[in-house]
Amino acid sequence: MFWKKWLSNKTTESTTEVTGDLRAVVLSDVGCVRTNNEDSALFIRPSGKDVRASKGFLSIVADGMGGHAAGEIASKMAVDTVAKTYFDRDESSEESLFFALTKANRNIWQSAAKNVRQKGMGTTCTALAIIDTRLYLAHVGDSRAYLLKKGQLFQLSKDHTYVQSLVDQGVITPAEAEKHPERNVLTRAMGTHSKVEVDITSLPHTFQDDDRLFLCSDGLYDYLSNDEIAQLMLIPSLSEAAAQLIDLARQRGGHDNITVLLVERVSPETFQTLRPTEEIN
């Protein structure tokens, strides 16, 4: 497996990765209040054409939690374990994603049990496999995945939060949920228990030319409406779109770390003019 990761405790320079017929940008910001960044994100391209045909490309965003910098340990363990395990497995994409997130959960749980400074650490994890035009989602927590298609924004993931459960029960409306004081209380997270329920979905949507995929932590969507996200995702430059999404979240408070991962298709002509991806073994 080969991949390159962009992440730091401050704004990462918006860097574009050319991956065959896909281009991805990851931008992460510590926000206006936090002193360290507990988010992690990866966009992975397998080097072999056969692997790319069978397993595709993989996007992952994780938002860690826990004291003594344990949150950033948990999120990094999640993305690293999911990336390696997914491409190592021979099963279908859905089964491979399930095994990958299950293994990551177990690794985080076991690490926390052995180290008192990591006790209680956990993370969200949202992973999206892109195989040709097909999309496969694995999801735990409240980071999100979106698809922008013909100007319309579709939320692909469903939050595992107390407030979302109230919406599902009809107790409150989605509009009320956006301002609810307990909207960030998780009902499911990676690493906080020995086992975790993972949402695995073969999505009905396809990823076509001119579509864009967007993964983010809650530090982004807590400050922007779906209409605002869609408008900024329409900016022609992927790097500029990512930067403006981060900037607007910061302008409105930035009380949490903010991470965005954007993916678009690249035409063969465009691909030939862009620099090749640096591969890291």
Q: Please, which residues have CB within 8 angstroms of residue 79's CB and are 6 or more apart in sequence? A: 5, 40, 41, 42, 60, 61, 62, 125
pLDDT per position as a tens digit, 161-174: 999 999 999 999 98
Query: Which helix (H) or strand (E) element contains residue 60?
Result: strand 57-65
pLDDT per position as a tens digit, 19-34: 458 999 999 999 999 9
pLDDT per position as a tens digit, 105-126: 999 999 999 999 999 999 999 9
Please provide the CATH number assigned to the domain covering 3-155+189-268.
Answer: 3.60.40.10
**pTM exceeding 0.75:** yes
Q: Which long-range contacts (CB under 8 A, 24 or more apart) does 160-168 make?
A: 160/186, 160/187, 160/188, 160/189, 160/199, 161/185, 161/186, 161/187, 162/186, 162/187
Domain ranges across the chain: 3-155+189-268
231 three-class SS: helix
pLDDT per position as a tens digit, 82-97: 999 999 999 999 999 9
The answer to whether 141 and 127 have CB atoms below 8 angstroms apart is no
pLDDT at 250: 98
The whole-angstrom separation of Cα 177 and Cα 191 is 26
104 three-class SS: helix
Alpha-carbon distance values, 242 to 6, 39, 234, 239 (Å): 13, 16, 11, 5
- Distance of alpha carbon 121 from its chain centroid, rounded? 18
